[in-house]
A and B are shown apart, each in its own frame.
Chain A
Amino acid sequence: MSYINVAETGQFVTLKINADGFDYSSNVDVAFDGAGSANVVTVPALTEITLNATPGLFRWKQLDALSEYVVTTASTNSLAATVVLDETSFFTGANSTLGIFATTNNKTPTYFRMYWQGTTSSDKYVQGVGYLAGLAPVVTPDSPVWTSPLTIEVSGAFTEGTVA
Chain B
Amino acid sequence: MTIRDTLLANVTTSLVGSNISVSTELPWNSGNVPLFTKNMKVCYIDEQSEDVSTVIETMTVDDNVYQTETTLTAYISVDAKNQPGGMTEVISNVLNSRNSVSNVFIRECNMETELTEDRITYTFLYRFLSIT
Contacts and interface: CB of A to CB of B under 8 A. Distances in A.
Interface in A71-127: 84, 86
Interface residues of B, number: 12
A57 interface: no
Kindly state the interface size class of chain A when it binds its partner: 10 to 19
Interface stretch (B23-31, B59-67, B92-100, B109-117): B59-67
Given A84-B65, A144-B131, A46 B105 contact: no
Nearest to B65: A145
A145 B131 contact: yes
Contact of B63 (A6, A9, A45, A142): A45
A12 interface: yes
B105 A84 contact: no
Contacts of A49: 59
A6 B106 CA distance: 34
Nearest to A13: B59
Contacts of B57: 47
Interface string A1-34: 0000010010011100000000000000000000
Interface string B48-70: 00000001111111010100000
A86 B58 CA distance: 13
Contacts of A144: 105, 131
A46 B131 contact: no
B58 A47 contact: yes
Nearest to A86: B63
Contact of A145 (B56, B59, B61, B106): B56
Nearest to B55: A143
A44 B105 CA distance: 24
B10 to A, nearest CB: 23
Interface of A: 6, 9, 12-14, 44-49, 84, 86, 141-145, 147
List the 6 closest pairs (A to B, CB-CB), nearest first: A45-B63, A46-B59, A12-B60, A45-B58, A144-B105, A13-B59
